Structure 1
Amino acid sequence: MPLFNKKKRIQYLGFNDVWFSVVGILILSLSTDYIFNNSFQSYPLGLAFYSWGASLIVTICDWLIIRRILIFLRKKYPDFRDDVKRIVIFFIAIVTIILIVDYVGGSLIEYVYRLLGKNANYITQLKVLLPVTLVTIMIMAIYEAMYYYVRLKKSIREEEQTKQVMIQAQLDTLRNQAQPHFLFNSLNTLRDIIDYDTKEDAKDFVDNLSGVYRFIIESGNSNLISLKKELKFAKAYIHIQSERFGDNLKLTWDIPEDKLSTMIVPMSLQLLLENAIKHNIVSKAKPLLITVVIKVDTLVVSNKIQAKSTQTPSTKIGLNNIKKRYQLISNKTPVINNDGEYFTVSLPLLKASNQKTTHENINY
């Protein structure tokens, strides 16, 4: 029973109400005694305690019965949409119980006092029961407020957990999308090597590619990665491409040491480098220069546009993938600029505090 089981008291009442019940019964019994008899002003001390004891007995009966009805109604109507119905029924129950218990209890107590030869008037009247009912409703309203607070807190936590699961699923999908995109472009590069270079060059490319994929696997399922690790991965990728293009592919790196600990979306820098190589001419006549620099709190990747006459079919995954992952993780979004001469992408550098917060631990 919830009366003796702490876990069930918390489940149905929202908190452990032992001390609340003790204090509430004392307040209600003293209020009732004051309204009915004002015993401690009207009677000698001994009789005053007898009189207050009678009010205490009636109050305990009121409290336990009303509390039991409260628990029953919460079991029967547990949802937020049933709150109005439950509270109306509970209000009617409070009034009914007070009328019945106080009238019957008062009559019995008066009868007992008469048998003992004591003079006490406990027959209740409606005008006297009204303030008792109001005090009881106010005390029981505290139960409702606590119960509503606990359920609201639980509802918010569950809603935020659901959102987190959905966001994580989207991030997993996008992250898993980026890897096939990398493989697709790598296979296109391998096809070109097979067509124009030696078999040994193709074998070296495959060996280096396997090393890069090992890095992808080791990076795990992180939604953010340090700039230091992303740079290591990007430079490993450029190393592979340099075996194919030699000095025709040039990169300028300007990364301050104090920015290496900042965070970035995994594979975002590599995808930008990959797209630049894929969509631009890289030749002796037209070397491709890519600059990777830090400006304020952004990583800026820029290259001169020298579009190929025959474009490799685009999957249109890379940039959209990066933008969506940034939007899901933070309130910052990459900035893409194409002025016809240069193609530039600015990736926000993040900190752990920049990640979108949830209300899982919210406290109102």
Structure 2
Amino acid sequence: MLLLYVFGIFTFINCVYLLIFSKFSFLKPSGEITSEKFPVSVIVCAKNESENLKHNLPFLLSQKHPEFEIILINDASSDDTLEVMESFAETDERIQIVNVVNNEAFWGSKKYALTLGIKKAKNKRLLFTDADCKPASDYWLSRMAAKFTTNKQLVLGYGGYEKHSGLLNYLIRFETLLTAVQYFSYAKIGIPYMGVGRNLAYNSDLYYANNGFISHIKVASGDDDLFVNEVATASNTAICFNEEAFTYSIPKKTWKSWRLQKKRHISTSKLYKTSHKVLLSLFYLSNLLFWGLGIASLFIVDWKLPLILIGIRFLVYMIVMGKAASKLKESNLIPFLPALELFLIFVQMSIFISNSASKPTHWK
């Protein structure tokens, strides 16, 4: 019976997390764009991204916002990224270019490149995305900028991935969905802990008041999540999940490249605030033990009680995560949610183990 009690405890903990996530799943997005049109600086840091820039810059330039500039940062590219930037700048005065040359102190540091781009921006409100990202609509910029107020200096957006066939694509999109559900939900209950650089906005005053990225400048990644983890509060953070405000990126095509990307992301999470690490770790542990203890209980204990607990948890899980998947336009993941959850748990475990042996040192 001890096994059943322990299983029941972790099932309850897992369901509590799901109830927290329901704060986002059942939240309705605002359908209005504020009448106050803030001028915005869109900042894109690119390293060897010439083809993506050719494809995506026209979508940034077509944004239906009255006043904005685009800061293009060439982070010491070895291809023709700078030439592509210059060709666009020749035809549109809204484009400003920052050409970063590697130096010994900040070799290969995206944060150093971003710092130079932020200093170049003439507008107080900054909106960040990546060179391989495409806005979901011409109102992306306005939807994100509308969330700025006198108190709200930081806006968390959703950065999804393009839909393709295959298990890897489904897993990438599921992991992105789960991450978004967490950071939106925690922000909603007053515990903002991260954001994604594919779709993130903040006020330059917030950046300079916290000395930018200086506290983690030597860490290869984390220009988005570590910065948000350090400066976000319940009062200064807003969320934007209107479908017109989404961005979509090109997903990794190989397991190896995706694992390397996840290794970078997971390595930065170790630098989160202790309370956030406990919150995230307990969720992962409750997921892991739900599956492990649940399967064991079915065979060791009378199967009826474990099956009832499993059924309750899966009902709550499918309702909450299914609603979130629909909200974030990932409805085709819904039939596969339990299988993707289990697979992701073991993939993350393998990455945790791998990270203990070696860590990535550059963002590209």
TM-score by length of 2: 0.23
Query: Normalised by the size of structure 1, how large is the TM-score?
Result: 0.23
Higher relative contact order (CA 8 A, sep 6+): 2
Identify, as 1 or 2, the structure richer in helix.
1
Structure with max Cα Rg: 1
